[in-house]
Chain A
């Protein structure tokens, strides 16, 4: 198989162009030059974009500069108040939960949180929650349900943490319980996959009325690395596993698992935070408006059937 260039290699000319534009922007006289470079940037991106493989998309989804949950909270939510702990065992920094205002309306926001520096990464456990993270998430969602606040969840995790303590405290039960309870919360729930949708650990905060997905995120039953190791017994098969699993936003839209794809700006979400926040805001706002018009009963019925019809099988007469 031909060796694939990584996304990091592909994006090098883009980084250079963005750097040049940034330098020129200090002087208003450079407007024409800037426009020319911006056009070049756009064309270059179009060229790269058309050739992105699923493995590239995974690299974008895991890009160290990709916006994380707290970045969205900082930009879309006013007066965010983080609430801690599951009232059972502890507080899990791999999941952020709290209340805030979204366009003047109190909402609960829940999301996986990754870190950027080594210290932060360890603190956030690389965005891999323990059971107490899922239990905290549900606690805050139930709080929102009590007061009629819509719920936004931001999904970005390699998966639920595989560790001794996590198993001792019932990782599977915590996830299962969230799936069951989220399916019957009466308030509108919007799930947004912003990066990695790592299996059950992602789904555990991923039950809602609308599932939105950033264009270059992925959502999968298993990581391509894990899949390659189990089914192909080789790490060289990661690219093949990534293709086979059908885990990109386009795949998920075709498989009718997600409702809408949120487009990413030139260069990917990490290249233009402002534009990314604007797009995400637009999609959340539109969907929330639609959901608020429905009665709770209709929303619950709709939510049930949304997941009820997922799956592909043959029905013999």
Chain B
């Protein structure tokens, strides 16, 4: 968003006072459109104040395939780091939500499209394993275009790795809530994002396996309205609920209390 005090909503076109959108967690007060948040913004409104700590930052990306398309992969990583001040497309956080200790992974789309390579896979796996070891509920906020092409088949194998870790967490009976944000597609949807004990999404989030453009090109017809949007998935039985951002913290607290058998 620009520096001026006023801003036009990309969705409904209304001119709005910028601070109103910010105060509303980047949701348009006029049309309820949910703008994308950074991982840090999500962390700040979900955790209890001063309760959290970012962990697993020692896991850092490299360039296993020596990949270079229009620019070298290493340069892409460097540019994303400077742009986002993140070290990769996911942060792991431990802290409390309404006093309940949790482990949370939060993805950030602005880091190479939130794509999952070796680091994202490893950090997510560590979050899952830590949740199991410390018996703390796991929450993952997904926001990703899918597996990272620049790490080739190693990225694909992160689907297997994270899902296998979740099977162990499942056996340990530690709750896992998956929150799908706009967009969650490809390999992230086809692994941990769809494996929550509870799967919920932000309103109008694009969620799917294949991207809508690929589907359109394959079937050569226009896609139905709202196709692959959160509400569409809810209607097709693929989500437990669609939860507006301003209710998400409350929803998580309620779900955690129920799953942990901890009434208020």
Interface residues of A (CB under 8 A from B): 160-164, 166-173, 175-177, 179-181, 183-184, 199-200, 203-204, 206-207, 219-222, 226-227, 230-232, 244-247, 251-252, 255, 257, 303-304, 307-308, 310-317
Q: Are A304 and B238 in contact (CB under 8 A)?
A: no
Inter-chain CA distance A214–B76, complex, in Å, is 34
Q: Which chain B positions have C-beta within 8 A of A170?
A: 194, 236-238
Inter-chain CA distance A307–B218, complex, in Å, is 32
Total A-B contacts with CB atoms under 8 angstroms apart: 195
> Which one, B4-12, B35-43, B164-172, B241-249, is touching chain A?
B164-172
- Given A311-B122, A312-B62, A313-B60, are A164 and B149 also a contact pair (CB < 8 Å)? no
Q: A163-B215, A163-B219, A311-B119 are in contact. List 9 more A-B contacts (CB 8 A).
A: A161-B218, A162-B211, A172-B193, A183-B163, A199-B147, A207-B164, A221-B149, A308-B161, A314-B59
Q: In the complex, which residue of chain A has the Cβ closest to the Cβ of B170?
A: A180
Q: Are A167 and B209 in contact (CB under 8 A)?
A: yes
Q: Which chain B positions have C-beta within 8 A of A226?
A: 214
Q: Are A310 and B190 in contact (CB under 8 A)?
A: no
- Given A168-B236, A180-B170, A246-B65, are A317 and B58 also a contact pair (CB < 8 Å)? yes
- Given A172-B208, A308-B165, A311-B121, are A184 and B171 also a contact pair (CB < 8 Å)? yes
Q: In the complex, which residue of chain B has the Cβ closest to the Cβ of A231?
A: B69
Q: Are B209 and A162 in contact (CB under 8 A)?
A: yes
Interface residues of B (CB under 8 A from A): 58-62, 64-65, 67-70, 117-119, 121-122, 125, 147-149, 151-161, 163-168, 170-171, 186-187, 189-195, 207-211, 214-215, 218-219, 223-224, 227-228, 236-238
Q: Are A183 and B208 in contact (CB under 8 A)?
A: no
Q: Which chain A positions have C-beta within 8 A of B119?
A: 311, 313
- Given A167-B227, A313-B62, are A162 and B214 also a contact pair (CB < 8 Å)? yes
- Given A172-B209, A199-B156, A315-B58, are A304 and B215 also a contact pair (CB < 8 Å)? no
Inter-chain CA distance A244–B69, complex, in Å, is 8
Q: Are A307 and B160 in contact (CB under 8 A)?
A: yes
Inter-chain CA distance A230–B112, complex, in Å, is 13
Q: Which chain A positions have C-beta within 8 A of B154?
A: 255, 257, 310-312
- Given A172-B189, A179-B160, A180-B195, are A315 and B67 also a contact pair (CB < 8 Å)? no
Q: In the complex, which residue of chain A has the Cβ closest to the Cβ of B155?
A: A221
Inter-chain CA distance A314–B62, complex, in Å, is 6
Q: In the complex, which residue of chain B has the Cβ closest to the Cβ of A159?
A: B210
Q: Are B219 and A164 in contact (CB under 8 A)?
A: yes
Which among B121, B156, B227 has the highest number of chain A CB atoms within 10 Å?
B156
Q: Which chain B positions have C-beta within 8 A of A222?
A: 147, 149
Cβ-defined partner of A307 (8 Å) among B64, B161, B192, B207? B161
Inter-chain CA distance A247–B186, complex, in Å, is 19
Sorted from nearest, which 10 A-B pairs have the closest CB atoms? A162-B210, A311-B118, A179-B163, A172-B189, A183-B164, A312-B64, A231-B69, A172-B209, A310-B157, A171-B209
Q: Are A176 and B160 in contact (CB under 8 A)?
A: no
Q: Are B160 and A162 in contact (CB under 8 A)?
A: no
Inter-chain CA distance A171–B151, complex, in Å, is 23
Q: Are B153 and A246 in contact (CB under 8 A)?
A: yes
Q: In the complex, which residue of chain A has the Cβ closest to the Cβ of B56?
A: A315
Q: Are B208 and A244 in contact (CB under 8 A)?
A: no
Cβ-defined partner of B152 (8 Å) among A207, A221, A230? A221
List 21 A–B pairs whose Cβ atoms lie within 8 Å, in order of A's numbering. A162-B218, A163-B210, A171-B190, A171-B209, A172-B189, A176-B195, A179-B163, A183-B164, A203-B159, A203-B160, A207-B164, A219-B153, A220-B152, A227-B149, A231-B149, A245-B65, A310-B121, A311-B119, A311-B151, A315-B59, A315-B60
